[in-house]
Structure formats: C-alpha cells, structure tokens
Amino acid sequence: MIGNDWDNILSKVFESPGYHEFIDKINKEYDNKIIYPPKEDIYKAFKNTSFKDVKVVIMGQDPYHGEGEAMGLSFSVPNGIKLPPSLKNIYKELEDDLGIKPSTSGDLTKWTKEGVLLLNSTLTVVKDTPNSHSKMGWDKFTDYIIKLLNKREEPIVFILWGNYARSKKVYITNPKHLVIESAHPSPFSARSGFFGSKPFSKTNDFLIKNNIKPIDWDLNK
C-alpha cells in the first residue's frame, strides 16, 4: 500500500475490519465530493519518509482545502502554488534561525527525503471546508502513528506548532525523544511565540548530540 517498511508495521491496521470500514467511508467521500489531496497522495508522508528514516515529525492539523494546494504533506504545497501564509512564516523563522533564504516554492518534499515526516492529524478534507474530515476517524490512525514512533529506540524530534498539535504531546512519553512546541506559524499567532522559537537549530543541535546526521533545511539547493 505504501511501498516501504510502514506496510509491515501497519499491516494489522490495514487488514483490520475497522480500517476497511473507515476507508470505505473515505472512498465514498471521494466519489461524491471534491476531496483533497488527490487520493493517491493520502499516504504521501509515509511513502516519502519510511519508519526507520524518521528523524523529525512536523505535526499539522488537516490538509489545505484550496484547489491544487494539498499534496499529502503537512504545510507543503506543490511547486507553482502560491505560498500559504503559515508557510511564509515558517520560511521567515527558518531564515531568522539559520540564515537560509526563503524558497520561492512551497514544496517541502526535500525535507521528507532528509527524514522529516510531514504528518497531518487528519489526512483528507472537503474542498473549501477546513476540518471537514476531522471527525471521520483519521485521528485514531495518526495518533497510533505517533505512539509507534514514540516506542522507537532511535531519538526523534517532534515539532508541535499550535494548540492542536501540542495536544499530541500526551503520546510522546519516551525520554529519548525531544518535543519542540510553540505557537502556530499562522499570521494570527506567529508573533505569540512562533517567531524566535528557533525550531530548526534546536532540532539539529539535538540530532548532532545524538550522533544523527542533521537535517539540511535549505530548499534552494
């Protein structure tokens, strides 16, 4: 289904009656409404970053709901799509933190290849209707993902921006991991603790301290 070690790790989930019942509901939504991201991109975060390669998790809430924006990776939009305000602020903090010039593209695929799991809590959304699938049951699936990663021996950095993402901290109990939390990068809250939080340098300092190759955050290369 995914094409890497997640398939084996999640095989019990994918084979369970509850999951089949749930995914039938999601498929009906795709049949009857305009749903984002494209169906083939629902599990893109997992396809791009295998379980064993996860160094960092950046937690989002649900996909962008505008046409052509959602691509299955939290905070990321395809090349050529106008940068969303939150992503502009992420780039601003990245420049302030590490001196990396903002990319003109909102495609964060390069980060996923570096070991950054760009995970939304809800993996689908109805066009122009934010949080429309938040009660569908995706939380059970993605909370389970966090719990699986929490059990891993190799240290992981969990980046939780905003109250919704921070509510997931309850599942991150392994002292080997680092949780970085702050206000959301949205224009409504970025000045309330996101700007100046230095999540990118803190992440790399932690990885280096644990003898793990740091993330190359520069999207311009």
- For residues 142 and 122, is the Cβ–Cβ distance under 8 A? yes
- DSSP secondary structure of 57-121: EEEESS---STTT--SSTT---TTSPPPHHHHHHHHHHHHHH-PPPPS----HHHHHTTEEEEES
Q: Which of 5, 62, 97, 205 is catalytic?
A: 62
Say if CB 201 and CB 99 are below 8 A apart: no
Structure-token pair, residue 180: 């970085």
Angle among Cα 122, 174, 212 to the nearest 5 degrees reads 90
7 is catalytic: no
Name the residues annotated as catalytic.
62
